[in-house]
Amino acid sequence: MANKKESTFVTMVLTLFIVTFIASAALGYLYELTKDPIAASKLAKQNNAIMKVVPEFDNEPSKEKYGMFVDGDSLIFFPAKKNGELVGTAVSTFTNIGYMGYIGLMVGFLPDGSIHNISVLEHKETPGLGDKMKKDKSDWSIQFNGKNPADFQLSVTKDGGDIDAITASTISSRAFCDAVQRAYDAYMEGGKQ
Amino acid sequence: MNNFTKGFFKDNPVFVLFLGLCPMLGVTTTAFNGLGMGLATTFVLVMSNLVVSIVKSQIPDKVRIPSFIVIIASFVTMVELLMQAYLPALFDQLGLFIPLIVVNCLVLGRSEAFASKNGVWSSIVDGTGMGLGFAFALTVLGGVREIFGSGAIFGYKFIEGDGMLVFVLAPGAFIALGYLIVMINKINDKTA
């Protein structure tokens, strides 16, 4: 450690400047490099979720999307059409009352307002408990399929609704219902185009 | 060689040095998550050890900690961007915890305690050994919690139904960690 630089004002400022300069240059370069693959993988994930929740379509729903501002965040609608006719709408919806806060869902509605299928986009619920709302963990969310919220109470049985909550995860189940209800309300209120 | 193997048992960052417990308790709900986090940390550890050992004589003592942190944070951001771009499935699982590698005292600890005093080659070996030791500890802990908590290992279920919930939740991490530390100490006592 004999030839170590001395800690004078100039050497310190200079060192920190050089270190941060090189670091930001490297990161900027890498950001440009990974920007397109990241955008592509996000889009693929979105399209994948849309494909799962609506009937077969032949348009590009992610290009015809439109938004609606609800409860301090926006819902995004992806209309799925076949031969120019609307066969279903995928709604990217959310709730903030999950056990760990935010949960993002993609809910597919048929034109008559009934639920076709639901897929989970994003969640931080407890692994082994709340994450059973995902299809690859359990069949819980299948009970929503084919139901029309007009004559189907979207809340857990404990609250007088028609949904059997996930065992030991009533809060996550409630939040899930809340997100679906939000999507349904917005869809009926003018999300149908 | 000693620099390499010490990371697994004698100086295992988790079981013996107790470094980096925050990410370890957070991500080890499954063996796969533990392994992914461990390997990401290994990459950061090796790269930051490498760079720190190269530039160590150019950095004045009083600003060495900020400089090291900038170097480490850069590599962590690189891991995050690369993982998001090329391993989106893994990023979905770990994305939340990747930025936490910056504040993992294991990484700064090795830069400060080892790389800033040793040559390039032995710093790389130290980083690899410590990183793999960390990955090993996280995978074992994740595996134990996954087996008891959900009756599965690496996602393959071998027991029907639910496991013991406590192992999935945070207290289970402490309980499992405690027993693993007992076992590692036993092994170290015998070999010492």
Complex ipTM: 0.70
In a domain, B90, yes or no: yes
Is A108 inside any structural domain? yes
B148-168 pLDDT tens trace: 877 777 767 776 666 777 777
Instruction: Decide if B96 is inside a domain.
Output: yes
CB contact under 8 A, B150 and A128: yes
Number of compact structural domains in chain B: 1
φ/ψ (deg, to 5) at A137: -105, -40
pLDDT in tens, A79-101: 888 888 888 888 888 899 988 88
Q: What is the average per-residue pLDDT within B52-75? A: 87
Domain containing residue B27: 15-135
- Asked if residue B123 belongs to a domain, the reply is yes
pLDDT tens, A18-66?
989 999 999 999 999 988 888 888 888 888 888 888 888 888 887 888 8
Q: Which residue of chain A has the CA closest to B81? A: A34
A49: nearest Cα among A65, A70, A37, A35? A65
**Any domain includes A5:** no
3-state DSSP helix/strand/coil percent for chain B, to nearest 5? 75, 0, 20
Amino acid in position B91: F
User: A129 and B71 in contact by Cβ < 8 A?
Assistant: no
pTM: 0.74
Could you tell me the residue range of the domain that residue A69 belongs to?
A: 53-191
pLDDT for the residue numbered A1: 42
On whether residue A66 sits in a domain, the answer given is: yes
Which of B59, B150, B160 should one mutate to test binding to chain A, selecting the residue with the greatest count of A CBs within 10 A? B59
Domain count for chain A, please give it: 1
Please report the sign of the dihedral spanned by the C-alpha atoms of residue A102, residue A108, residue A110, residue A115. Answer: negative
Report which of B78, B79, B71 is spatially closest to residue B48, judged by C-alpha positions: B71
Model pLDDT, residue A193: 57
Other CB atoms within a 10 A radius of the CB of residue B102 amount to 16
The mean pLDDT of B30-57, rounded to a whole number, is: 87
**B72 lies in some domain:** yes
- Domain for residue B52, yes or no? yes
**A126 interfaces chain B, CB cutoff of 8 Å:** yes
B163: number of Cβ within 10 Å: 19
Mean pLDDT of A92-113: 88
A100–chain B Cβ distance below 8 A for any pair: no
Is residue A112 situated within a structural domain? yes
φ, ψ of residue A89 to 5 degrees: the values are -135, 125
**Closest chain A residue to the Cα of B57, Cα to Cα:** A4
Chain A contact present for B191, CB below 8 A: no
* Domain annotation covers residue A92: yes
Q: Is residue A46 part of a domain?
A: no
Instruction: Report yes or no: B60 at the A interface, CB cutoff 8 Å.
Output: yes
Sheet with A73-82, edge to edge strand ranges:
A66-70, A73-82, A85-98, A101-109, A115-122
Using the beta-carbon criterion (under 8 Å), do B58 and A15 form an inter-chain contact? yes
- Within a domain: residue B153? no
